[in-house]
Amino acid sequence: MADRVRMRGVTIHRPIIYGNTAVVLTPEEKALLPPNKQEHTHRWTVAVRSAASVPDSDIVGGADDLSYFIKRVSFKLHDTYQNPNRNVDKPPFEVSETGWGEFEVTIRISFITEAGEKTVSVFHHLKLHPWSLLVNPGELADPNPEAAAKLGPVHSWQYDEIVFNDPFQSFYNILIAHPPTPLPKHKRRPVPFHTSNPGSLEASKGGTPEFTLEMEKEEGERLEAAKRKVVAEQEKWRGILIEKEKELEKLQKMLLTEQA
Amino acid sequence: MAGPSAADVRSILSLGPSTPSQTQTPLTRKPSMRKPEGMTRELYALLGPSTPTLATQFAKPRLKQKPKLGSNGVDKDAQEAVAGPSSSGGGRVRWEWREFKNGARTDGLKLKHWVNAATDPNAEYPPAKYNIQPNVYVYSLDEYTRWLSVDKEWTKEETDYLFELVREYDGRFYVVGDRYEFPNGPQRSLEDLKDRYYSVCRKLIRNRPWAGDEASKNQLLSSFQFDKEREVTRKKYVASLESRTPEQIAEEEALYIELKRLEQTERRFKKDRDELLRTLYGVESGLPDIISDEDGLNPSAGGGLSISVSGSGLSLDTKKRKKNGGDLETPMSASSASASVIQLGPPGQKKQQPAKNAAFDALQCIVRSEVPANSNKSSHIPVFFRTLKTPIPRSAVASKVAQLMGELQICHTRLVMPTRENNAKLESLLEAASSLVETKKLVDKVELDIRVARERLGMVSENGGESGGWEESNVAGRSASAGAEGSGAGGAMDVDEDAEGEQEEGVDASGRGQSVASVRSAGRKKQQARRSMSISSVDTAATGGPHKKRKR
């Protein structure tokens, strides 16, 4: 079958994001909760979306419909939830729930049959409480709901890329029929906060965040700056090493003459 | 800059104004003609009694205005009266015999010179800036054994000696080649020295962590490029050119002219024949309308005048024909035009294709790589998340690297934007970090060795000639183990090789207490013994030779 021919030497990826958004429940909403969920404090949505956002929307990512290559996304919630395995077979690939605690969500992504690929899974730590608590823990030991509600929705998203190696011709054709919306070049909205870049906390405040190419560039620059520092340090230490080696050689020569 | 005039020298030496010299005979003054404007008195005096030509008289030389360095009308007392530099204005300059500090000197020798008293006494000695230290690479023992010991023609001692000379003579290889005299070393030509030096530098650049991007690295690498064979051939060629006799040169030139003439006649013949064919058969001749022969028709300067004249005549001829072809829309020219379009087509398309592909690939997030010829289906890499390919430091140095990353405020376990580029950047950062950690480890090791050697030195001087056999073996063991744990930056593949190199080094270092030469041979023997399974000829290893093949 001609379609089952692999495109050798081709690596094609699709940028995605996964993560969650959480908001504090208002007292009215809380009153509507069934009795067994009375202690729930947050409403959250965990989702897998395309990385680029629709302009002027309050949703992070999701500019493209990923169902052209994703068949199913299953979210494994905490065991205390009713039927914790939630399978989502059509977009949007997301699960909304209420809850009171943070936990690890296992996200399993299966691809359409044309891909001929196995399911992949990834973990996401469901984030309910504001990031500022994490960065300066002294601020609020016990998150009080009023203050947290004031800070607005909590966003926790991880950018990632799903990489296909040597795709089948048919799958390749499907993929290239759906080019991903490129990420905006410049920052238009707040930066999605990430624990790997604590400095982005300020930039992450004030609205729905959006992933941009600028973030990639910024991170690349941070890595390069760090490398320059490391290399400078390395030069210094190499100098010290060479000095020391010379000293050692001298000492050994002295030893030689002493023994002779 | 203009040199000091007699007046300046006088003012420096604090002498009075010059008195009219006795040697000036009245004869020179005798001519009634006045000294022309703009001509110095001294020059005028040199002319003697002969009348200057009209040219010198009327052409007023345009000279730069003489710098006002001082006045010659100041006598000694008056000059001493103007003490401070502030009062030395108005054409009066005080000169001082002053000590100065030469920043280029390291020996602290103090010299004195005459300076204008108005200058800042603490100013940098201006010529000091020309003392530029050439950036000569240095390498550690570990680096040497890891990357530089491949060339068995060279020992570390000799390489050290070469680098020392290059440093001492500021990289002037002619001087280095002249002074090069390594005891018991083989005869080295200038090209040998250059080749070794540049190859070592290239290896160091290539293997050391690089802070900039690839392009700048390659640029630096190319500046250290040296092709020994080519250089030797070039020198031979130049020597043979220089050693030609005048007859040979004349003959060569004659032959060259003859060759050009023949070429031209042939071309003319061909043209005439084509012309004839075209007129006889038209399109059926299958000949292109225009023959581009300009390239051949530009005779070089050595071709002689007559040829160049005839050549230009020919090229004029072709130009005329081109014009004709353009004016008359003959089927011939049309076909040739279309042919040329077709000919031009493919290269143009080829140029466009990759650019279009790149844009397409960038949009579609496609990365193409060369497929290895022997790839089979079983080697398929399944789909993965990019985050799973986040590079991790090697386990041997992982904790130290993690600590370093913490200091740099880089989270190396997870990136915000784990794209391919950023993963690669993180990887090179981790590589640089682990090599830094290893260098620090090596420093610790050498420090320990220094301490041991110091103690031994103390022991030896106390106990006379007693040899510290225990410590020798101790040192050897330690450095060998250090070598085993400090694997190379090149990745897991190099571990074995590095351990070997280090082992050799370990033995080498320990044994230097006895005899350098004998120990080295011992080290090599050890290695050879290990390799003797595959290599049949195991002889004395002191010569080195091509037994050991290490490829990178």
For residue B410, what pLDDT band results from cuts at 50, 70 and 90?
confident
Distance from CA of B547 to the nearest CA of A (A): 28
* C-alpha to C-alpha distance for B505 and B475, rounded to whole angstroms: 11
Concatenated DSSP letters of B367-418 = EE-PPPTT--GGGPPPPEEGGGG-----TTTHHHHHHHHHHHT--SS--SS-
* C-alpha to C-alpha distance for A248 and B456, rounded to whole angstroms: 12
**pLDDT value for B435:** 86
**pLDDT value for B341:** 40
Whether A247 shows a pLDDT value over 60: the answer reads yes
Percentage of residues of chain B with pLDDT beyond 90 = 8
The burial class, CB within 10 Å (0-12 / 13-18 / 19+), for A154 is buried
Chain segment B317-329, per-residue pLDDT in tens: 444 444 444 444 4
Inspect the interface and report whether the beta carbons of B416 and A228 lie closer than 8 Å: no
Residue of A8, A200, A234 lying closest to B436 (CB–CB): A234
- Find all residues with CB under 8 Å of B510, minimum gap 6, and list them: B472, B473, B475, B476, B479, B519
Residue of B383, B405, B422 lying closest to A164 (CB–CB): B383
**pLDDT value for B207:** 84
Whether B294 shows a pLDDT value over 50: the answer reads no
List strands edge to edge, sheet with A120-125: A85-88, A70-76, A104-111, A120-125
Tokens 């004030």 -> residue: A206
Q: How many residues appear in chain A?
A: 260
Inspect the interface and report whether the beta carbons of B368 and A11 lie closer than 8 Å: yes
Distance from CA of B431 to the nearest CA of A (A): 9
What is the rounded average pLDDT for all residues in chain B?
Answer: 68
All residues of chain A having their beta carbon less than 8 Å from the beta carbon of residue B145 are: none
* C-alpha to C-alpha distance for A6 and A172, rounded to whole angstroms: 9
Whether B353 shows a pLDDT value over 70: the answer reads no
- Cα B488 to chain centroid distance, Å, stands at 28
**pLDDT value for B285:** 67
Distance from CA of B453 to the nearest CA of A (A): 6
**pLDDT value for B251:** 94
**pLDDT value for A134:** 64
Whether the Cβ atoms of residue A131 and residue A137 lie closer than 8 Å to each other: no
Whether B528 shows a pLDDT value over 70: the answer reads no
All residues of chain A having their beta carbon less than 8 Å from the beta carbon of residue B417 are: 159, 211, 215-216, 219
Percentage of residues of chain A with pLDDT beyond 90 = 14
For residue A8, the chain B residue with the least C-alpha distance is: B371
Show the tokens assigned to A151.
Answer: 């800070």
Distance from CA of A23 to the nearest CA of B (A): 23
For residue B438, what pLDDT band results from cuts at 50, 70 and 90?
confident
The burial class, CB within 10 Å (0-12 / 13-18 / 19+), for A259 is middle
**pLDDT value for B249:** 92
B401 in contact with A, Cβ within 8 Å: no
**pLDDT value for A47:** 92
B517 in contact with A, Cβ within 8 Å: no
State mean pLDDT over B371-396. Answer: 75
Q: Is the pTM of this model over 0.80?
A: no
For residue A231, the chain B residue with the least C-alpha distance is: B211
* C-alpha to C-alpha distance for B188 and B276, rounded to whole angstroms: 64
* C-alpha to C-alpha distance for B40 and A121, rounded to whole angstroms: 95
* C-alpha to C-alpha distance for B246 and B249, rounded to whole angstroms: 5
For the segment(s) A2-209, the CATH number from 3.20.10.10, 3.20.20.70, 2.60.40.1970, 3.40.50.2020 is: 2.60.40.1970
* C-alpha to C-alpha distance for B335 and B467, rounded to whole angstroms: 95
Say whether B249 sits in a helix, a strand or coil. helix
Instruction: Report the candidate in A20, A178, A104, A6 with the shortest Cα–Cα distance to residue B382.
Output: A6
Percentage of residues of chain A with pLDDT beyond 70 = 92
Tokens 């005798």 -> residue: B30
**pLDDT value for A135:** 59
Residue of B380, B421, B457 lying closest to A255 (CB–CB): B457
B156 in contact with A, Cβ within 8 Å: no
Chain segment A76-118, per-residue pLDDT in tens: 999 888 888 999 998 889 999 988 888 999 999 999 988 888 8
Chain segment B202-251, per-residue pLDDT in tens: 888 888 877 777 788 888 888 888 888 999 999 999 999 999 899 999 99
**pLDDT value for A45:** 92
Residue of A117, A230, A245 lying closest to B446 (CB–CB): A245
Chain segment B19-72, per-residue pLDDT in tens: 554 444 444 444 455 666 667 777 777 776 665 555 555 556 667 776 665 544
Residue of A14, A163, A231 lying closest to B211 (CB–CB): A231
State mean pLDDT over A65-79. Answer: 91
All residues of chain A having their beta carbon less than 8 Å from the beta carbon of residue B440 are: 237
Q: What angle do CA B540, B542, B548 make, to 5 degrees?
A: 85
B373 in contact with A, Cβ within 8 Å: no
Chain segment A193-232, per-residue pLDDT in tens: 888 787 777 777 777 888 888 888 888 888 888 888 888 8
Residue ranges of the domains in chain A?
A: 2-209, 212-260
Say whether B187 sits in a helix, a strand or coil. coil
Whether B299 shows a pLDDT value over 70: the answer reads no
